[in-house]
Amino acid sequence: MITVPLTQGKFAIVDNRDFNLVSQYSWYTHLSRNTYYARTDTPIKIAMHQLILSSDDPELEIDHINRKGFDNRRSNLRLVTHARNLRNQKKRSGCTSRFLGVYCNCNTGKWESYIKYKGKKLHLGHFQTELEAAEKRAFMEEALDAREDEVFSLCTSKL
């Protein structure tokens, strides 16, 4: 593991085998939504994680498994669909539940859960407790992730 200096006194982490590749560029700290990541200071902007792990498939994105945009070790990067990448985000502040995709419906007093899949919000039901709603969402997330893994495996095996 090697650290790569960025601007603003920050550093990115890369594997030893990727250091020669990333050291060809000057890198700066870039804020995107709620996370920072490393980007080149060239006319065509390249994110460090995209340089290290790339795909020709426009349906796939690179996900930082631990949600840290400066951790660009290959063990922390994976190719996923946009939907799966969204499921790896932290829970937003101001939510009524401590779980992602779960909320209390103020009108009914029941807990509800949902998950996004292929751009659509799927309602998973009404529940008596927050934990029941979270368990249903976790079950659906695992099922969707397993399905995406199966499809991804089939697609990449044909390359």
| pLDDT (tens digit per residue) in 36-80 | 667 777 778 888 998 999 888 888 999 999 989 899 999 999 999
* Whether pLDDT at 147 is above 80: no
Q: Which position has the higher pLDDT, 95 or 139?
A: 139
Say yes or no to pLDDT of 135 above 90: yes
For residues 71-96, average pLDDT: 80
pLDDT at 91: 60
CA distance 159 to 156: 5
Buried b (16+ CB within 10 A) or exposed e, 99-109: bbbbeeeeeee
Q: Which helix (H) or strand (E) holds 49?
A: helix 48-52
- pTM for this entry: 0.61
At residue 21, the pLDDT reads 92
Q: Where are the domains of the chain?
A: 2-81, 91-157
Average pLDDT value over all residues in the chain: 83
Q: How far apart are CA 129 and CA 110, in angstroms?
A: 7
| CATH code given to domain 91-157 | 3.30.730
The per-residue pLDDT for 109 is 84
